[in-house]
Amino acid sequence: MPNSAPHLRLPQELTIYTAAETRAAWLAWLSGDEALAAGNPVCRVDGEAVDEVDAAGVQLLVSLANSLQGQQRTLRLCNTSRPLRQACRDLGAAALLLDADEGAAA
Amino acid sequence: MKDHDIDTSFIADALPAFLSEAREQVESIEQLLLELEDTPEDRGLLDALFRCAHTVKGSAGIFGLDAVVGFTHHVETLLDRLREGQLSLSPELSTLLLQCNDQIKALVDAAQDTGGGEAEGADARAALVARLQAFGHAPGPVDAAAAAETPPAAEPQPARWHLAARFGAETFRNGMDPLTILRYVAGLGTIPHVSCNTASVPTLDELDPEQCHLGFDIALETEEPREAIEAAFSFVRDDCQLVITPPPPTSQGSGRRCRAWATSWSTSASSRPRSWAWRCSDRTSRGGRPARHRRWVTSCRRTTA
């Protein structure tokens, strides 16, 4: 996948404690997403900053992916931090959320 | 202790309750061993003995108390052979198990003092483990009879279980994290496959982010018994529907564990035995985040062996 600029950058913390505010921010982003207007089918989400994540955080990502799917788009995590990558794998969500290369990476 | 697995505030909140319950289990083990001196083949007492040790080990694992888990595992393994009739409880073995129980108590006490650090007496425990293993390798009444009739068994292979876990809506609000639980399950063996049921998660506009919608299908390869798998979910028993499907009976190495049954927990199963009711505690709000309420309910005694 080309290293194009991400459409969305994830916060440092992606847990139950920040889920409500993160959801609100993503809803606002979705409503004004320029990539959607441009008709880009893949939404690249940068996960480099995430250093704290739990199941509620991954669920939020899945929810975002489902929202994008409703717009005929696909969420792809890129540049993922180790904690985020490991959490996605441990919860069986790697295939859904990660780029193929990153999903295979250690 | 693995920092990423264990919420430190959880340790602080719930460790005293674990320690108290663990001491009760240790006392029960001693009492059961004394009762078994008169009826060493009483299956009910042997089952209860196994469950006590298993509960201590399983709960200690949740708290990352590796020393307790490691030592109690050896005791539990031998107790499993006892209850399966592969060994007989001789007076010598009973004495050995009482000595082991003293060490479990010492390790539990050390966990209170150090939060899980090693207690003194590592050499003594190593010697006890060696004696346990010597007993465990000795042919018992079943082994001796079977050895004359059956060819040597193939090298045991881990049995593959299938777990379907659907976490309840209040899981997050009750302070539980399925990620921690799945990582604990992974510690029981190997997970060759896990998938998240993403279709059950609403879209963002319909999502209550503090409500859990997660469900998982898990393949687990382990030599641990069913009780060990169930124990991993014991803290979410009221918040989880869990179906455990055992390996097929033809699986090598799974032996007596390969029975055709499945167990299911449901949030509506109000008739479940609950001999452990862990305390409730309010979690202190962090930096303006919503205060969290933790409810720990588990059970250490089961109506079925």
Of the candidates B121, B143, B136, B142, the residue with the CA atom closest to the CA atom of residue B76:
B136
Nearest CA in chain B to A29: B204
Q: Between helices B91-114 and B122-137, what is the axis angle to 10°?
A: 140
Instruction: Give the pLDDT score at A84.
Output: 95
Closest partner residue to B179 (CB to CB) among A30, A64, A90 is A90
Model confidence over B119-155: pLDDT tens digits? 578 888 888 888 887 877 655 554 444 444 445 555 5
Q: Where are the alpha helices (DSSP H) in A1-106?
A: 19-31, 34-38, 55-70, 82-90, 94-97, 100-104
**Tokens describing residue B188:** 């029981």
Model confidence over B42-97: pLDDT tens digits? 888 888 888 888 888 877 777 777 788 888 888 888 888 888 788 888 888 888 89
Could you tell me which residue, B304 or A52, shows the higher pLDDT?
A52
Nearest CA in chain A to B291: A17
Question: Other C-beta atoms within 10 Å of B229: how many?
Answer: 22
User: Does the structure show a pLDDT above 90 at A10?
Assistant: yes
ipTM comes to 0.89
Nearest CA in chain A to B186: A90
Of the candidates B199, B213, B172, the residue with the CA atom closest to the CA atom of residue A96:
B199
CA separation for the pair B196, B240 (Å, rounded):
15
Residues of A in contact with B213 (CB under 8 A): 59
Contact B292 A83 (CB under 8 A): no
Residues of A in contact with B178 (CB under 8 A): 55, 91
CA separation for the pair A8, A26 (Å, rounded):
9
Model confidence over B249-260: pLDDT tens digits? 654 443 333 332
CA distance B13 to chain A (A): 18
Say what the pTM is.
0.54
The DSSP code for B188 is T
Q: Which residues pair with A98 in a beta bridge?
A: A77
Q: Most A CBs within 10 Å: which of B173, B201, B204, as the mutation test of the A interface?
A: B204
Residues of B in contact with A64 (CB under 8 A): 204
Residues of B in contact with A60 (CB under 8 A): 204, 207, 209
Model confidence over B271-305: pLDDT tens digits? 332 222 222 222 323 333 333 333 232 322 222 33
Decide: helix, strand or coil at residue B193.
Answer: strand
Residues of B in contact with A70 (CB under 8 A): 203
